[in-house]
Amino acid sequence: MAAPMAQLCVNLLPKRLGLMSQHINCSCVFFSSSSPLRQPKPLKHVVNYQRTRAEVARALRRKQNFLHHEMVDKHRASPLQSGTAQISEESGEGAPREYRYVMPEFLPNPDFQYRDKVLEKMERRDMLRRRAVIDIPEFYVGSIMAVTVSDPYSPGKTNRFVGICIDRGGRGLKAYFVLRNVVDGLGVEVMYEMYNPTVHSIQVLRLEKRLDDQLYYLRNAPLEHSTFSFDTQPVNLPRDAPVPVNTTKVKLNPKPWEYRWERFNLKGIEPLPLTAKMERGIKEHAKPWEEYDLMLKYRQTVNEDEERSIMTEVFQENSRIEGERKSSRAVLRRKK
Amino acid sequence: MALCMTSAPSQVVPSLIRIATTCCCFSTSKTHYEIRNLARMRIVDNSAIGKAAAEIGKPPRVINVYNRKNVGYLGDKVLVTVKGEMRRAYIVGLRQKQKANVPRMDTNNIVLVDDNGNPLGNRIHVPIPSCLRGKGGDITKILSLATKFV
């Protein structure tokens, strides 16, 4: 039964192809009458001559909100338009994509309830002003950092603390990060506000990332994992090198813990010995649907267009500040 | 099998006894780590009574906080029971969430003082928050013992 059917198809095919080729030929002929073959058509407004004279007159008459193509072309070619193209190119110069991760504090709260565009703009301006004064480097959760803060009561008037960054958050001027270290056998954590005027300097001693967004589990890990010497020398990465990811797995102390770490799906800890009760808890509190919840993702992230516009603004302002700094440095050198 | 069965309860029993003898085996204000009455502290100076309390594994408990709120914060004076004695002490480190630039410690630390406000020990072996230096009064005597500020 199959063979005759196939034959039928084969018989039918050439006929169909022939029909199609005829059709194509016809169409080619039809078009070739108006324009020469195999030449790119000049982009020009072509008037449909098959219309009646009345229709053509109606189409060509002067209308509101209508610009004739030739008029537009004339304006584009005029010498008055010479500078405009460059301006549009400049405004199109956006920030690199990593800006979102390098300076996440510039992004507004994705929740519209807490949005205030004027306030955000003013805060951004203040932040950039602060950044012009002190150097806030690129850092991530897991980097080893040193922070110097002015301390009115200390003899040297400044207080330096070194530690691993275990958390980073906040938006705008309230952006913060938390450092953790072990001093004399006691775990110490200090939260610093990045734009706090008492901060003298922020230095990244070792730039690296960890597998998790927050490292609060170091509180329940052996102290050696959060012990860092205050004399650590900064390690410079080669330029344009990707940020290394530290994939060390931490072995947590036995319970009691600060939180139920088994429920957090942490990647930076060794697999935990789970009891039946813990497994039940994981199952009860798991939210597998969140992975597919598009609305949740939408609500938790800033609109891409908005992000681009904000980051472009930040990038341009930053590059302007850098340029000013360079020029001032050059002036200083000349004076010397 | 029988041995296993017998050994398991014997491990459980001492903890049960401890629950029965002390008032509560878990912190009642864990979520905020607030220093209220009966909160357990850690003595960080080298006073003899503090060492003895640490040896027998009975941490001191707060039985009064000398402020209006009855919740202890950094630099507050508290009354604690150590080995059945009442002693006054100053809070020099908290587990609680702190403001910016103020350190948060892994333990709730106190330094014992006598009735005149003089510290019982003569050395403190943990870092002390630098912000305490702004407070006057008896706490300056404690700060003079400190070896390290954070």
B55: domain CATH number is 2.40.150.20
Which of these ranges, A20-24, A82-86, A172-176, B34-38, has the smallest mean pLDDT?
Answer: A20-24
Q: How many CB atoms lie within 10 A of CB B129?
A: 25
Could you give the dihedral angle defined by the CA atoms of residues A214, A219, A221 and A222, in that order, rounded to the nearest 10 degrees? Answer: 130
Instruction: Assess whether pLDDT exceeds 80 at residue A311.
Output: yes
- Predicted pLDDT of residue A142: 95
A153, A174, A181, best to mutate vs chain B, most B CBs in 10 Å: A153
Contact A270, A250 (CB under 8 A): yes
Strand order in the sheet with B61-65: B42-43, B109-113, B85-93, B77-82, B61-65
Instruction: Please state the pTM of the whole predicted model.
Output: 0.73
Which of these ranges, A16-30, A39-53, A246-260, B55-69, has the smallest mean pLDDT?
Answer: A16-30
Instruction: Assess whether pLDDT exceeds 50 at residue B13.
Output: no
- pLDDT > 70 fraction of chain A, expressed in percent and rounded: 79
What do you get for the CA distance between the two ends of chain B, in Å? 54
* pLDDT tens per residue, range B21-72: 455 555 555 667 899 999 999 999 999 999 999 999 999 999 999 999 999 9
Instruction: Assess whether pLDDT exceeds 90 at residue A206.
Output: yes
The answer, for B74 touching chain A at a CB cutoff of 8 Å, is no
Which of these ranges, A70-79, A152-161, A180-189, B50-59, has the smallest mean pLDDT?
Answer: A70-79
Nearest residue, CB atoms, B127 vs list A153, A188, A196: A188
Q: How far is B66 from chain A (nearest CA, A)?
A: 25
Q: How far is B29 from chain A (nearest CA, A)?
A: 13
- Cβ contacts of A219 on chain B, cutoff 8 Å: 106
More confidently predicted of A162 and A79: A162
Which of these ranges, A53-67, A221-235, A273-287, has the smallest mean pLDDT?
Answer: A53-67
B106, B140, B143, B145, best to mutate vs chain A, most A CBs in 10 Å: B106
Interchain CB distance below 8 Å, A188 and B130: no
Report helix angle A117-133 to A304-335, nearest 10.
Answer: 30
Extract the tokens encoding A87. Answer: 């301006």
* pLDDT tens per residue, range A106-123: 999 998 888 888 999 999
* Site of tokens 């207080």: A159
Average pLDDT score, chain B: 83
| Residue B89: exposure state from Cβ atoms within 10 A (0-12, 13-18, ≥19) | buried
- Cβ contacts of A187 on chain B, cutoff 8 Å: 105-106
Interchain CB distance below 8 Å, A152 and B134: yes
Bridge partner list, A179: A165, A190
Q: Residue B44 sits in which domain range? A: 29-143
Q: How far is B65 from chain A (nearest CA, A)?
A: 24
The CA distance from B75 to B134, in Å, is 10
- Predicted pLDDT of residue A89: 43
Instruction: Assess whether pLDDT exceeds 90 at residue A204.
Output: yes
Nearest residue, CB atoms, B100 vs list A183, A188, A191: A191
Strand, helix or coil for residue A329: helix
Nearest residue, CB atoms, A184 vs list B102, B103, B125: B125
Average pLDDT score, chain A: 82
* Site of tokens 């906040």: A170
Instruction: Assess whether pLDDT exceeds 90 at residue B119.
Output: yes
- Cβ contacts of A190 on chain B, cutoff 8 Å: 101-104, 150
Q: How far is A128 from chain B (nearest CA, A)?
A: 21
In angstroms and rounded to an integer, the radius of gyration of the C-alpha atoms of chain A is 33
Instruction: Assess whether pLDDT exceeds 80 at residue A44.
Output: no
The CA distance from A102 to B47, in Å, is 49
Domain assignment of residue B76, yes or no: yes
Instruction: Assess whether pLDDT exceeds 90 at residue A261.
Output: yes
A to B CB pairs, distance under 8 Å: 62
**A77-81, A145-149, A152-156: range with highest mean pLDDT:** A145-149
The CA distance from B143 to B95, in Å, is 20
3 state SS for A157-209: CEEEEEEEEEEEECCHHHCEEEEEEEECCEEEEEEEECCCCCEEEEEEEECCE
- Predicted pLDDT of residue A199: 96
Q: For chain A, what are the domain ranges?
A: 134-302
The strand ranges marked E within chain A are: 144-150, 158-169, 176-183, 186-193, 199-206
Instruction: Assess whether pLDDT exceeds 50 at residue A90.
Output: no
Interchain CB distance below 8 Å, A186 and B126: yes
Q: What is the mean pLDDT of residues A287-297?
A: 92
Interchain CB distance below 8 Å, A161 and B98: no
B94, B101, B108, best to mutate vs chain A, most A CBs in 10 Å: B101
Q: How many CB atoms lie within 10 A of CB A138?
A: 13
Domain assignment of residue B71, yes or no: yes
Domain assignment of residue B19, yes or no: no
Contact A236, A207 (CB under 8 A): no
- Predicted pLDDT of residue A29: 39
Interchain CB distance below 8 Å, A186 and B99: no
Interchain CB distance below 8 Å, A153 and B127: no
Contacts made by residues A154-158, CB under 8 angstroms, sequence distance 24+: A154/B130, A154/B133, A154/B149, A158/A200
The CA distance from B74 to B71, in Å, is 10
- Give B146's DSSP letter: B
Which of these ranges, A19-33, A75-89, A193-207, has the smallest mean pLDDT?
Answer: A19-33
Counted domains in chain B: 1
Extract the tokens encoding A236. Answer: 């410079």
Contacts made by residues A23-32, CB under 8 angstroms, sequence distance 24+: none
- pLDDT > 90 fraction of chain B, expressed in percent and rounded: 70
Q: How many CB atoms lie within 10 A of CB B109?
A: 25
- Predicted pLDDT of residue A37: 56
Which has the closest alpha carbon to A244: A210, A199, A271?
A210
- Predicted pLDDT of residue A86: 52
Bridge partner list, B89: B78, B112
Domain assignment of residue B70, yes or no: yes
Instruction: Assess whether pLDDT exceeds 70 at residue B18.
Output: no
- Predicted pLDDT of residue A48: 63
Res. A234 pLDDT band, cuts 50 70 90:
very high
ipTM of the complex: 0.80
- Cβ contacts of B104 on chain A, cutoff 8 Å: 188-191
φ, ψ at A71 (rounded to 5°) = -60, -45
Q: How far is A293 from chain B (nearest CA, A)?
A: 31
Q: What is the mean pLDDT of residues A281-308?
A: 91
Q: Which residues contact A248 (CB under 8 A, 6 or more apart)?
A: A225, A268
Q: What is the mean pLDDT of residues A73-100?
A: 66
Domain assignment of residue B6, yes or no: no
The answer, for B127 touching chain A at a CB cutoff of 8 Å, is yes
- The kind and range of the H/E element at A72 are helix A69-77
Which of these ranges, A172-186, A191-205, B16-30, B125-139, has the smallest mean pLDDT?
Answer: B16-30
Q: What is the mean pLDDT of residues A45-51?
A: 67
- Cβ contacts of A183 on chain B, cutoff 8 Å: 126-127, 148, 150
3 state SS for B109-130: EEEEECCCCCECCCCECCCECH
Q: Which amino acid is at A80?
A: L
Instruction: Assess whether pLDDT exceeds 50 at residue A221.
Output: yes
Q: What is the mean pLDDT of residues A309-326?
A: 86
